[in-house]
Amino acid sequence: MQRFVSNFKLALHLIELGFAWLYLTRAQKTSEWSTLRGHLTQLRSLVDSVITSVRQGLPLVEANQKTVELKKLVDTIMNLFQNV
């Protein structure tokens, strides 16, 4: 559970700071820019889905699936930012 919370917090930071970076670099849109925007939008949707599921009493199986999805997407975005 602690790993999920850690990844969830990291996802929130990536959403906030990632969209800020996109805004600041919108004038020089690179190929990575569009890719990052797509992944950040997907991450925001996943975070919204997790919040909704938790409020409705997230089943354990679904929680594990969302944890895997969240971790995979966070890792992808982190790798993209490292290569920019």
Count of Cβ atoms closer than 10 Å to residue 6 Cβ: 12
- Helices 2-24/60-82 angle, 10° precision: 40
Q: Are 73 and 46 in contact (CB under 8 A)?
A: yes
Calpha distance 25→30 (Å, rounded): 9
pLDDT of residue 17: 96
19-68 tens-digit pLDDT = 999 999 999 888 889 999 999 999 999 999 888 888 888 776 777 788 88
Per-residue model confidence (pLDDT) at position 30: 83
3-state secondary structure of 26: helix
Classified as helix, coil or strand, 33 is helix
pLDDT at 84: 81
The closest alpha carbon to 40, from 19, 57, 68, belongs to 19
Would you say 43 and 16 are in contact if contact means Cβ atoms under 8 Å apart? no
